[in-house]
Structure 1
Amino acid sequence: MDEKLLTQIRLLKKYLELLKDISKKEKDEYLKDEILRGAAERYLQLAIETCINIGARIVLLEQFKRDFKSPETYSEIFEILSKIGFLDESFAKNLKNMAKFRNKLVHMYWEIDDEFVFYILQTNLSDIQKFLHFAMNYITEN
Structure 2
Amino acid sequence: MLGHWGEGKLDEKLLTQTRLLKKYINLLEKVAHTEKNVFLKDEILTAAAERYLQLAIETCINIGNRIIALEQIDRNLPPPETYVEIFETMFKIGLINEQQLNNYRKMARFRNKLVHVYWEIDHETVYEIITNNLSDLKEFLNIVVSYLQKN
Shorter chain as normaliser: what TM range? over 0.9
User: Which of residues 22, 33, 36 is equivalent to 1:27?
Assistant: 36
Name 2:51's counterpart in structure 1. Answer: 42
Q: 1:2-35 CA deviation, whole Å, 9 max, x = no partner?
A: 1000000010010000000000000000001000
Q: How many angstroms apart in 1 are the aligned matches of 2:97 and 2:85?
A: 14
Structure 2 portions without partners, runs of 5+: 1-7
Residue 65 of structure 1 aligns to a residue whose secondary structure is helix
Q: Match for 2:14: what amino acid?
A: L
Give the 5 Å matches for 1:110-121. Answer: 110-121=119-130
| Cα RMSD, aligned residues only | 0.7
Q: 1:27-72 CA deviation, whole Å, 9 max, x = no partner?
A: 0000010000000000000000000000000011001110221100
User: After the TM superposition, which segments of 4 or more aligned residues of structure 1 sit over 3 Å from their partners?
Assistant: none
Q: Match for 2:43: what amino acid?
A: E
Q: Match for 1:32: what amino acid?
A: K
1:65 paired with 2:65, answer: no
Residue 86 of structure 1 aligns to a residue whose secondary structure is coil
Q: Match for 2:40: what amino acid?
A: L
1:94 paired with 2:103, answer: yes
Residue 64 of structure 1 aligns to a residue whose secondary structure is helix
TM-score by length of 2: 0.92
Instruction: Report how far residue 89 of structure 1 moved.
Output: 1.2
Identity level (%): 59
Query: Is 2:71–2:77's contact at 8 Å kept on the other side of the alignment?
Result: no
Name 1:129's counterpart in structure 2. Answer: 138
Query: Is 2:91–2:97's contact at 8 Å kept on the other side of the alignment?
Result: yes
Greater gyration radius = 2
Q: How many angstroms apart in 1 are the aligned matches of 2:142 and 2:53?
A: 18
Q: Match for 2:149: what amino acid?
A: T
Q: How many angstroms apart in 1 are the aligned matches of 2:88 and 2:116?
A: 22
User: Which of residues 3, 6, 9 is equivalent to 2:12?
Assistant: 3
Query: Is 2:68–2:90's contact at 8 Å kept on the other side of the alignment?
Result: yes
Aligned residues: 142
